[in-house]
């Protein structure tokens, strides 16, 4: 599941890189098919219109790549999907950082993932995908597996590390949320 999630994030970031390259080449009057392999800087991620979320959104709106009525292949739409997934991950990690309930029981990663999914992603997924997600949550590894992912052995060690990670994710989520709200992009199809 972790590798599946990572693969989906990689696919979406690769798509934004490809769109950045295509946009940069079009601005320079070259065709995307005639270019040689580009370095990340050449993708426009450091110097072009895709150097920030704000500049990407503005450039795509100006170029007519974003439509509020139907799906388009845009970095803004792809970013929105990443933004929702980031919220899910943040909520899952927040749950993993919490202590036990009043009875001394920790929620399982499956329970935490399901709770976060219902808030962050389920409202944007069709019925079939929501049902498939339920199966995934049943198959999530135990809490110890997730603790090892953040290089700790015990819950007591994990909580401070997870809080730092959650704080960083929250900063990114909040900044992106503001930009997407500013341009009314939180419900792109």
pLDDT of 4 reads 72
As a whole number of angstroms, the distance between CA 98 and CA 114 comes to 16
As a whole number of angstroms, the distance between CA 122 and CA 137 comes to 13
Coarse DSSP helix, strand, coil percentages of the chain, rounded to the nearest 5 percent: 70, 0, 30
Give the pLDDT mean for 123-130. 95
Q: What percent of the chain has pLDDT over 70?
A: 87
pLDDT in tens, 100-120: 999 999 999 999 999 999 999
Cα Rg, the chain, nearest whole Å: 19
pLDDT of 112 reads 96
The alpha helices in the chain, defined as continuous H runs, are: 2-27, 53-63, 75-97, 109-120, 127-139, 143-149, 155-182
pLDDT of 115 reads 97
Q: Is the pLDDT of residue 30 over 60?
A: no
Q: Is the pLDDT of residue 34 over 90?
A: no
Q: How many CB atoms lie within 10 A of CB 111?
A: 13
Mean pLDDT of the chain: 87
Q: Is the pLDDT of residue 150 over 90?
A: no
pLDDT in tens, 48-84: 788 899 999 999 999 898 999 999 989 999 999 999 9
Give the pLDDT mean for 86-101. 94
Q: What percent of the chain has pLDDT over 90?
A: 63
Give the pLDDT mean for 33-48. 48
Contacts of 112 (CB under 8 A, 6+ apart): 91, 92, 95, 96
> With 0-12 CB in 10 A as exposed, 13-18 as middle and 19+ as buried, what is 163?
middle
As a whole number of angstroms, the distance between CA 84 and CA 185 comes to 12
């Amino acid at each position: 599941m972790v590798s599946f999630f990572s693969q989906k994030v990689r696919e979406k970031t690769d798509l934004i890189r490809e769109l950045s390259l295509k946009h940069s080449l079009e601005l320079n009057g070259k065709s995307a098919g005639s270019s040689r392999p580009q370095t990340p800087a050449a993708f426009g991620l450091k110097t072009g219109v895709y150097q920030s979320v704000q500049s990407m959104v503005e450039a795509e709106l100006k170029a007519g790549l974003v439509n509020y009525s139907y799906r388009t292949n845009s970095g803004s739409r792809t970013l929105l999907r990443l933004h929702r997934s980031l919220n899910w991950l943040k909520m899952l990690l927040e749950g993993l950082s919490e202590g036990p309930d009043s009875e001394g029981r920790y929620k399982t990663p499956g329970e935490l993932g399901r709770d976060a999914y219902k808030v962050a992603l389920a409202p944007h997924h069709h019925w079939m995908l929501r049902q498939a997600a339920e199966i995934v949550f049943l198959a999530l590894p135990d809490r110890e597996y997730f603790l090892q992912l953040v290089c700790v052995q015990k819950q007591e060690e994990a909580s401070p590390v997870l809080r730092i990670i959650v704080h960083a994710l929250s900063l990114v989520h909040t900044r992106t949320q503001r930009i997407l709200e500013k341009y009314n992009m939180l419900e792109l199809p």
